[in-house]
Amino acid sequence: MKNQILIFAILFFMACNTSNKEQNSLVKTKNQTKLIEKHHLKLNGDLMTPEVLWSFGRISGAEISPDKTKVLFGVSYYSIPENKGNRELFVIDIDGSDLMQLTNTPESEANAVWKPDGSKIGFLSSRSGSLQMWEMNPDGSNPIQISAIEGGITGFKYSPDMKKVVFTKEVKVGKDIHDIYPDLDKANAMIATDLMYRHWDERVTTYSHIFVADYDGNSLKNMKDIMEGEPYHSPLKPFGGMEQINWSPDSKNVAYTSRKLIGKAYAFSTNSDIYIYDVTTGKQYNLTKGMEGYDVAPVYSPDGKKIAWESMERDGYEADKNRIFIYDFETKEKKDYTQDFDQNASSLVWDDNNTIFFSSDWHARYQIYELNTENEKIRVVTKGDHNCYSAIPAGDKLIVTKQSMSKPTELYAVDKKTGKETQITFENKEILDQLSMGKVEERWITTTDGKKMLTWVIYPPHFDPNKKYPTLLYCQGGPQSSVSQFFSYRWNFQIMAANGYIVVAPNRRGLPSFGQAWNEQISGDYGGQNMKDYLSAIDALAKEAFVDKNRLGAVGASYGGFSIYWLAGHHNKRFKTFIAHDGIFNLEAMYLETEEMWFVDWDLGGPYWNKNNKTAQRSYANSPHRFVDKWDTPIMVIHGGKDYRIVDSQGMSAFNAAVIRGIPAKFLYFPEENHWVLHPQNGVLWQREFFKWLDKWLK
């Protein structure tokens, strides 16, 4: 009955609500109705459920047409019965009218970009088997395959003069086990003699390389691997994309990001650089030689006289301040334009030759900022309780991707001068209109050392101040990743609230957007001040009349999982249950099991056998596994089998320790998941087990 009500409401909306700006919902409504039928979508009255959460369309990859009149973007939809996702492409006018769906295929389309003259849209599709470059007319008609490259490609960009294409693909460098022993064709093994033999969730058997090819409008020819024979990646794995590779406006050069180190050196360093490749001569040089931290995502100014990129100063510190550096090709000067800006900067885009727009987080909200390179002043453009992750100039407006704790990503047109915004996509309006969201409140709580800490409090929908509610302390991962206005499809605060829980989410020490000093305090102090911050937050809320201090729980993943394991040995009876996902349990084992050694080397202070290093010894003395004798509270442990950042033995060890100690425990194991949970049915299972455990001990 609830399914029929939901579908009827959507169809009613289609029939009655046909204003220009909201007509763009109609195409997607048809898609979502089909998905709802597939999912057997379950509503719990007007409350969020796991099935509803996985029914949201997820917007990504906005691109402005060359004439600045249209926005190209993709929407990912997920089918729970089919246990997979599918991404379709859409185009819409920048004022929010005339939405058009361009693709409708069983294969996902990705990397959709406008051809520089606007005559075609290029995209990646696996329609022919492997992932290849395709083109279609701007209305989605006449799709044709452009590339036919063995093994497929992973990304591409047109040169501005449309005579060439730069693309990326996986290549094998060196010999594998079958090259060494060709008679053992069914052997499944690898031989390693150095570090970084696996990364994130895969064994390192290939490298992402950049190719430049001639393009005649129909095919790619004369392909050249500009990194031929090199055991290096571009873009950087695991999260780098085509934003790390860009053409110069005159089509003569390609700027790209790479960390040209191997093995142990690669594992201990974050020193990536920006390289400039001359398409005509084949020569290249390192633009950022001598700059020791991350240097990524180069973007040329419209006249090609300057290039900007994101830069971190210190080698080995992945959470260093992300600065805006600009190089002037005429004066040969490199300059940091964010010296007096105590915030991070990302997603840089030039508007004109003197203006850059970028995204930055401050007080747990991402906003769009403008940098004037002439007077070196920075001003904030957007305001509000939201996360604006990227902006693309379009005349006097910016096309911005925006989300909040209560609303998944949509596209907005923002006035460059005033910051006034107009929503132009309504991808999830039909679902959101039927849901009641909990109130999100900002509180500033005093910590044990007298500082003020921003803490989000999320209330259940239909909150009754006369009732007492079970309450969850949310522990953030990272560890340097702010509890901002993100809309998560796993750690979703609104679904926790919809299940009758108050959520307390503190921006404890070690999180960005409160200045670099606040962010850096956590390094070398695991189990220190940030844990006191957690307890300050939950203790402050436990004093409220509507919080049942006898029904408190704590949950978290990654460093948040470490926090759970640590709190389990130090909480002094505050909590009635814990849930830890992909958490660090044994810091000594973690140091030797993880792949990106720079992380543990910086944050823990070095190896545990260095007895003279006081920082390292303090870190390992605070390892949660040392306090299992103090554990006395039911705990659920979740871990992924392909998590090579924090390997699954960490979760198994914690679970085994709890069982041996006689503590009620549950272990939820996903053999095919990595540090996240990416498959729809696993995601729904995660949510069901998560709340089943909490309800058992807190309700």
Cis peptide leading into residue 235 (ω within 30°): yes
- Within 10 angstroms of residue 570's Cβ, the number of other Cβ atoms is 14
Catalytic residue among 301, 643, 653, 679: 643
Catalytic residue among 208, 359, 484, 558: 558
Q: State how far Cα 191 lies from the chain centre.
A: 32
Nearest-angstrom CA–CA distance, 556 and 476: 6
- Within 10 angstroms of residue 335's Cβ, the number of other Cβ atoms is 14
| Type of residue found at 580 | A
> Is the separation of the CB atoms in 213 and 224 below 8 Å?
yes
Residue 322, token pair as written in the block: 């992300």
- Within 10 angstroms of residue 514's Cβ, the number of other Cβ atoms is 22
Q: Which residues pair with 638 in a beta bridge?
A: 581, 668
In which element (H, E) is residue 561 found? helix 559-568
Nearest-angstrom CA–CA distance, 133 and 220: 9
- Told to judge if 643 belongs to the known catalytic residues of this protein, a careful annotator would answer yes
Residue 399, token pair as written in the block: 């096309």
CA 49 → CA 125, 196, 380, 438, 494, distances in Å? 32, 40, 36, 14, 10
Nearest-angstrom CA–CA distance, 203 and 558: 21
Q: Which residues pair with 377 in a beta bridge?
A: 372
> Is the separation of the CB atoms in 507 and 518 below 8 Å?
no
Using alpha carbons only, how large is the chain's radius of gyration in Å? 26
Q: Is the dihedral of CA 374, 376, 379, 381 positive or negative?
A: positive
Count of residues in the chain: 699
Tell the residue number behind the tokens 């800006």, with chain if given: 341
- Within 10 angstroms of residue 362's Cβ, the number of other Cβ atoms is 19
Strand order in the sheet with 155-158: 155-158, 164-171, 207-215, 220-225
List the one residue out of 358, 241, 341, 336 whose CA is nearest residue 288: 336
- Told to judge if 675 belongs to the known catalytic residues of this protein, a careful annotator would answer yes
- Told to judge if 178 belongs to the known catalytic residues of this protein, a careful annotator would answer no
Nearest-angstrom CA–CA distance, 240 and 192: 25
Q: Which residues of 25-64 are buried (b: 16+ CB within 10 A; e: fewer)?
A: bebbbebbbebbeebebebeeebbbbbbbbbbbbbebbbb
- Within 10 angstroms of residue 384's Cβ, the number of other Cβ atoms is 13
List the one residue out of 529, 528, 484 whose CA is nearest residue 506: 484
Catalytic residue among 581, 625, 639, 675: 675
**From its phi and psi, is residue 120 left (phi > 0), alpha (psi between -120 and 50) or beta?**
beta
Nearest-angstrom CA–CA distance, 173 and 170: 10
CA 612 → CA 268, 551, 605, distances in Å? 20, 43, 11
Three-class SS state of 601: helix
Tell the residue number behind the tokens 């203006």, with chain if given: 355
Angle at 46 between CA 45 and CA 52, to 5 degrees: 100
DSSP string, 440-489: EEEEEEE-TTS-EEEEEEEPPTT--TTS-EEEEEEE--TTT----S---S
DSSP string, 200-221: TTEE---EEEEEEEEE-SS-EE
Burial class (CB in 10 A: 0-12, 13-18, 19+), 590: buried
Catalytic positions are 558, 643, 675
